[in-house]
């Protein structure tokens, strides 16, 4: 069965410094992986996805993630945090049994300090 | 193109009352999903519909029923609301394929007193 673990429930960074949000996954097959962002009182927006093409995936708003099979990781990074990046971020693995259901991580709340 | 829409946006119920959350998508997606979001728990799947005419239980189906009315619409019903069902509910849709991203509605915030 697939599962995903977000290693930090809260991350604080200063504006202009790098962002690292960590995600480990478990999957019997080659997974599809996603990062979504949720701003306060809003719905979820897709940042980026990995589907077995390039291991370094670029997304919107300067975010990127690297798929590392040997480490079963899919960490989200951004070189320079902006105040508008403050939000909750979810790592998601897609079920590969044929239903393609999502399995969500518990989320990481990113705080950006001025 | 409205994407995924949900009604209502907010609702307060008393214990034992019933209500239906509505969801519609205009992207011609085959699959639709209902999730609940609780603090510290991410989103958990309540029910899903892989295609028109089919529905299946997700991780937390107890206390809920669903109806896939047609390809566009997927409703979630609480027959007898309980305080444990206080949550934010999200509907989503996609083409069920490898890498098929889900598109989410804006959510319904439900409080059961």
Task: Return the percentage of chain B with pLDDT > 70, whole number.
Answer: 100
Are residues B101 and A105, on separate chains, in Cβ contact within 8 Å? Answer: no
Chain A CB contacts of B31 below 8 Å = 100
| pLDDT tens column, A86-113 | 999 999 998 777 677 899 999 999 999 9
State the Cα–Cα distance between residues B108 and A105, nearest whole angstrom. 21
What does the pLDDT average to over B79-98? 93
Query: How close is the nearest chain B Cα to the Cα of A61, in Å?
Result: 18
What does the pLDDT average to over B17-31? 96
Are residues A105 and B42, on separate chains, in Cβ contact within 8 Å? Answer: yes
State the Cα–Cα distance between residues A84 and A96, nearest whole angstrom. 34
Contacts of A83 (CB under 8 A, 6+ apart): A15, A112, A114
Is the pLDDT at B3 greater than 80, yes or no?
Answer: yes
Check residue A71 and report its DSSP letter.
Answer: T
Half-sphere exposure of A20 (CA within 13 A, CB side): 5
Chain B contact probe: residue of A10, A90, A102 with most B CBs at under 10 A: A102
What pLDDT does A2 receive? 83
Are residues A105 and B96, on separate chains, in Cβ contact within 8 Å? Answer: no
| pLDDT tens column, A59-84 | 999 999 999 999 999 999 999 999 99
Q: Out of A43, A105, A107, whose CB is closest to B107?
A: A43
Task: Return the percentage of chain A with pLDDT > 70, whole number.
Answer: 97
| pLDDT tens column, B47-57 | 999 999 899 99
State the Cα–Cα distance between residues B43 and B91, nearest whole angstrom. 11
């Amino acid at each position: 069965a697939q599962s995903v673990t977000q290693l930090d429930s809260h991350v604080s960074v200063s504006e202009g410094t790098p962002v690292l949000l960590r995600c480990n996954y478990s999957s019997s097959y080659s997974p599809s992986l996603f990062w979504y962002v949720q701003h306060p009182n809003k719905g979820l927006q897709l940042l980026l996805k990995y589907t077995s093409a390039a291991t370094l995936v670029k997304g919107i708003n300067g975010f990127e993630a690297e798929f590392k099979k040997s480490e079963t990781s899919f960490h989200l990074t951004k070189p320079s945090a902006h105040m508008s990046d403050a939000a909750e971020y979810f790592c998601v693995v897609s079920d590969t049994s044929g239903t393609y259901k999502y399995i969500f991580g518990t989320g990481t709340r990113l705080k950006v300090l001025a | 193109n409205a994407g995924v829409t949900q009604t209502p946006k907010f609702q307060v119920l008393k214990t034992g009352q019933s209500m239906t959350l509505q969801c519609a998508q205009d992207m011609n997606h085959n699959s639709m999903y209902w999730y609940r979001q609780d603090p510290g728990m991410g989103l958990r799947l309540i029910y899903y519909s892989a295609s028109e005419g089919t529905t299946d239980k997700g991780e937390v189906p107890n206390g809920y029923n669903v109806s896939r009315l047609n390809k566009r619409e997927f409703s979630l019903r609480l027959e007898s609301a309980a305080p444990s069902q206080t949550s934010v509910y999200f509907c989503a849709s996609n083409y069920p394929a490898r890498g098929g991203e889900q598109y989410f509605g804006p959510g319904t915030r439900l409080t059961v007193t």
